[in-house]
């Protein structure tokens, strides 16, 4: 199950100082959240940084070394989203490597 794999991968990430998330136009990473927005964490993944925001407003950051989690998340869309969109996301994620 992909949700269990996501939780496993997220749990393996090292803590990090606050990093900047991508902003501006174009690809800005990915957002992962609960099906019920009022119940759970909001997770942003991009540019080698993972920002986890809890419902109480607390925030923690993790390092996504080699952007492995980000690329894995994009790949989970294969066969579910438009092929051109998948290719664009993979290209943009590779282009914005730090």
pLDDT, residue 98, reads 45
- Tell me the CA distances in angstroms from 33 to 14, 44, 77, 94, one per residue in order: 20, 9, 15, 23
What lies within 8 Å, CB to CB, of 21 at 6+ separation is 28, 29, 44, 46, 47, 49, 51
Give the domain ranges of the chain. 2-95
**pLDDT score, position 40:** 78
Predicted TM-score (pTM) of this structure: 0.85
pLDDT in tens, 43-70: 999 989 999 998 888 999 999 998 999 9
For residue 73, CA distances in Å to 15, 29, 41, 57, 61 come to 19, 10, 17, 24, 18
- What residues contact residue 39 under an 8 Å CB cut-off, 6+ apart? 55
E strand or H helix that includes residue 68: helix 68-75
CA distances from 13 to 1, 10, 22, 72 (A): 19, 6, 19, 14
């Amino acid at each position: 199950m992909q949700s269990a794999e996501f939780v496993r991968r997220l749990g393996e990430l090292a803590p990090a100082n606050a990093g900047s998330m991508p902003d501006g136009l174009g690809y800005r990473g990915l957002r992962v959240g609960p099906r019920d927005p009022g119940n759970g964490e909001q997770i942003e993944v991009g540019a080698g940084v993972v920002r986890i925001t809890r419902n109480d407003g607390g925030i923690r950051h993790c390092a996504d070394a080699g952007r492995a989690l980000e690329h894995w998340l994009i790949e989970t869309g294969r066969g579910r989203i438009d092929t051109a969109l998948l290719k664009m996301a993979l290209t943009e994620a590779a282009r914005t490597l730090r």
